[in-house]
């Protein structure tokens, strides 16, 4: 398996090189040169296989010969040691809970897989790899947990000041060891711009082995396709649609890859908050990113989603895109109203991101009622306890793993601009 740049100005590379580079030398995102469907018989009998066996079948072609079969299976076993419950809310509506990993967010699978792969590639190397990650909350926490004490790595997390929840910030800033947190005076998009600029900065690349742990990195992005296989394993419906709370669009893009691998998914819904670049694109065919707006679903506060270019690469043209995917946006009032409605009627607690996913699913199913819908619950509600508890007038139980970090002191470096960020990195030498 080789990976080519979507900017089409650099040579293809293998999986190991793609992980270590993060972005291609021309600044483009890596994309597989081919995606070969899994054997139909395997998908037809998917309920006969364990989650580990499914993961191996899904991921082996993307890894190629860079990792042996035995080592890849060991990496997968270290990555996936928790469940992905599917909760029925209506006869045709299910919640896929992706927050049962160590940091209570869906990013855990991709972060752990990438960390394990990079640790494998670095095991006989003495040179340090510096992992850069921009986060709107959950990505940084998952990456910090996955890479903590991984040999040969230093992780630098960029997160926007006053735009992540208190629990998320503590997950980002209380790790120490090989993890450093940078608090950026700006938005997530500003954090992401700094990371991308670093990869084309010759001085930084001469000094460091840089890679990214955002979903721009293939090792972070591709494992998210497993969620869709695990959901299908439990339902096996031919009229299956997925609604995905979407910010940087890595998760929904991974779902589209799952369909390219042969999974019979009928339709995708990209549900966003008021940062509605993609819903507007679906209406008029014009990609125009507005200024990022802060919302209660902060992981989706993204106006220029990096992974959308990968989605366009898969669907090729606008008509094909609109045939297979829809996109809707919702505001905070609608989000909180649905959180309360679902709790009052079902006793089920949504987080703001999952609520946006369900809003999108409900809108789609109103005119496509014969389908079975799954929305992704991407983070534990406790991470957004201020808004959720106020909305529902209840006190959420705090998981023990969260209690452990509440008393720890936060440590971070304030960053105002790219020059400040660059100089901070250079001082790490």
Residues with a catalytic annotation lie at 107
Beta bridge partners of 153: 129
258, 300, 273: which is closest to 105 by C-alpha?
A: 300
Q: Are strands 265-272 and 30-32 parallel, antiparallel or unpaired?
A: unpaired
- The phi and psi torsions of 272 (rounded to 5 degrees) equal -125, 165
Angle at 164 between CA 161 and CA 166, to 5 degrees: 105
Contacts of 234 (CB under 8 A, 6+ apart): 86
> d(Cα 179, Cα 172) in Å, to the nearest integer?
9
**Burial class for 395, CB neighbours closer than 10 Å (0-12, 13-18, 19+):** exposed
Calculate the dihedral angle through the C-alpha atoms of 217, 25, 290, 108, rounding to the nearest 10 degrees: 10
Number of neighbouring beta carbons within 10 Å of residue 186:
18
> d(Cα 427, Cα 429) in Å, to the nearest integer?
5
């Amino acid at each position: 398996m080789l990976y080519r740049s979507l900017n089409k100005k650099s040579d293809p590379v293998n999986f190991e090189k793609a992980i270590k580079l993060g972005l291609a030398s021309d600044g483009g995102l890596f994309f597989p040169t081919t995606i070969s469907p899994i054997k139909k018989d395997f998908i037809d009998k998917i309920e006969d296989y364990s989650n580990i066996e499914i993961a191996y079948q899904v991921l082996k072609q993307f890894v190629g010969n860079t990792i042996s079969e035995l080592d890849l299976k060991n990496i997968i076993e270290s990555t996936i040691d928790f469940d992905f419950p599917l909760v029925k809310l209506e006869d045709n509506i299910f919640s896929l809970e992706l927050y049962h990993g160590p940091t209570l967010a869906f990013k855990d699978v991709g972060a752990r897989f990438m960390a394990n792969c990079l640790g494998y590639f670095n095991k006989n190397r003495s040179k340090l790899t510096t992992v850069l990650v921009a986060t709107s909350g959950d990505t940084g926490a998952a990456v910090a947990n996955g890479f903590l004490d991984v040999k040969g790595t230093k992780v630098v997390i960029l997160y926007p000041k006053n735009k992540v929840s208190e629990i998320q910030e503590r997950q980002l800033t209380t790790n120490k060891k090989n993890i450093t947190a940078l608090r950026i005076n700006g938005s997530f998009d500003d954090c992401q711009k700094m990371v991308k600029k670093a990869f084309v900065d010759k001085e930084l690349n001469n000094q460091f082995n840089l890679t990214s742990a955002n979903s721009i990195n293939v090792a972070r992005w591709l494992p998210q396709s497993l969620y869709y296989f695990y959901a299908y394993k439990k339902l096996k419906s031919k009229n299956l649609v997925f609604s995905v709370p979407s910010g940087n669009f890595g998760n929904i893009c991974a779902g589209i890859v799952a369909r390219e691998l042969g999974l019979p998914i009928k339709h995708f819904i990209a549900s966003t908050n008021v940062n509605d670049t993609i819903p507007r694109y679906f209406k008029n065919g014009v990609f125009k990113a507005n200024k990022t707006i802060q919302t209660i679903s902060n992981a989706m506060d993204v106006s220029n989603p990096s992974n959308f270019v990968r989605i366009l690469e898969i669907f090729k043209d606008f008509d094909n895109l609109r045939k297979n995917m829809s996109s809707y946006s919702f505001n905070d009032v609608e989000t909180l109203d649905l959180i309360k409605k679902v709790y009052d009627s079902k006793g089920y607690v949504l987080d703001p991101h999952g609520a946006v996913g369900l809003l999108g699913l409900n809108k789609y199913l109103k005119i496509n009622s014969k389908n079975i819908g799954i929305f992704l619950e991407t983070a534990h509600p406790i991470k957004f306890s201020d808004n959720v508890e106020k909305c529902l007038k209840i006190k959420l139980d705090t998981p023990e793993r969260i209690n452990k970090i509440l008393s720890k002191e936060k440590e971070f470096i304030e960053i105002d601009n790219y020059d400040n960020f660059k100089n901070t990195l250079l001082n790490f030498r």
